[in-house]
Amino acid sequence: MSQQVITPELCAWISEQSRVGHASESILAAMLGSGWDEAIARQALARTLGQSATLTTSDGSTPGLPEPDLSRFTPLLEAGDRQVKVVMALRQPRVVVFADLLSDEECDGIVALASKRLSRSETVATGNDGSEVNAARTSDGMFFERCETELIRRVESRIATLLRWPLDHGEGLQVLRYRPGAEYQPHYDYFDPSHVGTPNILKRGGQRVGTLVIYLNTPAAGGSTIFPDIGLDVAPVKGHAVFFSYDRPHPSTQSLHGGSPVLEGEKWVATKWLRQSVFN
């Protein structure tokens, strides 16, 4: 496991190489030549130059990771049809908290659409690529089709712009409702490479590389999103969202997270999982 870190100096060097006309491919080659780990080098290129400037890989996946443009740390980010506030950002692991990603009306609209279709949440089972009810997850949930309604399409396109990750690399939005006492125990969102069903799952869009959890309401008490490895609690506030990315399906990403028990009221979230390539 590499300990290499993407420093501001590295990003400045990449910007300069690009400015004087070097293609991303040759900047990558130079980095590999001077001993950079390929995954880190690709991530640094994506972070510095944006996805559009990065490279394509032979298996058709998009290199780098979803990542908002925090290069100038402007307090407001343009997300197409809306300006989104950045509340805080952690570099390692990458965690960014946004405010005002969705309006109150958009949150209410998604809750109204989802409430008609809720059922006890399922998670991917070990041993096949179906699902099973999991005691670690006591919420109720449903999935939207991508772009299922005008509202869903608008939100998905805003997310794609904000995180600079193609809309077609995202799974359909998942909505969860937690009642008092319900929780989602700490877990990783990537598919465990050691599970027998994982190769089949990966045929459709590759690994998950990022997660955006959007809060659709503000629970009266409890329900924070917790990151046990780094001691972080994110408060669930209506219209806010927490984003995190993971460049490999491994605990070293410190992307362990969960939804702590709701103590009072309900908690509603919409989760967008981002894949390495087109998810159909």
Ligand X SMILES: O=C(O)CCC(=O)C(=O)O
The residues pairing with 271 across neighbouring beta strands, listed in sequence order, are: 174, 213
Residue 155, token pair as written in the block? 């939100």
The DSSP element (H or E) to which 215 belongs, if any, is strand 208-215
Q: Which is nearer to ligand X, 37 or 192 (CB)?
A: 192
- Per CB under 6 A, residues contacting ligand X are 176, 184, 189, 211, 213, 225, 257, 259, 269, 271
Contacts of 46 (CB under 8 A, 6+ apart): 54, 63, 64, 65, 67
CB of 8 to ligand X, least distance (A): 30
Q: Is 183 in the site for Fe ion (CB under 5 A)?
A: no
CB of 218 to ligand X, least distance (A): 13
Q: Which is nearer to ligand X, 24 or 225 (CB)?
A: 225
Residue of 67, 106, 140, 189 that binds Fe ion (CB under 5 A): 189
The residues pairing with 119 across neighbouring beta strands, listed in sequence order, are: 141
CB of 57 to ligand X, least distance (A): 26
> Whole-angstrom distance between the N-terminal and C-terminal Cα of the chain?
32
Residue 225 contact partner, candidates ligand X, Fe ion, none, CB within 5 to 8 A by sort of partner: ligand X
Amino acid in the structure at residue 91: R
Query: Which residue number places its CB atom closest to Fe ion?
Result: 189
CB 158 within 8 A of CB 79: yes
Q: Which is nearer to Fe ion, 156 or 189 (CB)?
A: 189
Closest CA to 143 of 113, 179, 104: 113
CB of 213 to ligand X, least distance (A): 5
Residue 205, token pair as written in the block? 């869009």
Q: Which is nearer to Fe ion, 36 or 273 (CB)?
A: 273
What is the binding site for Fe ion (CB under 5 A)? 189
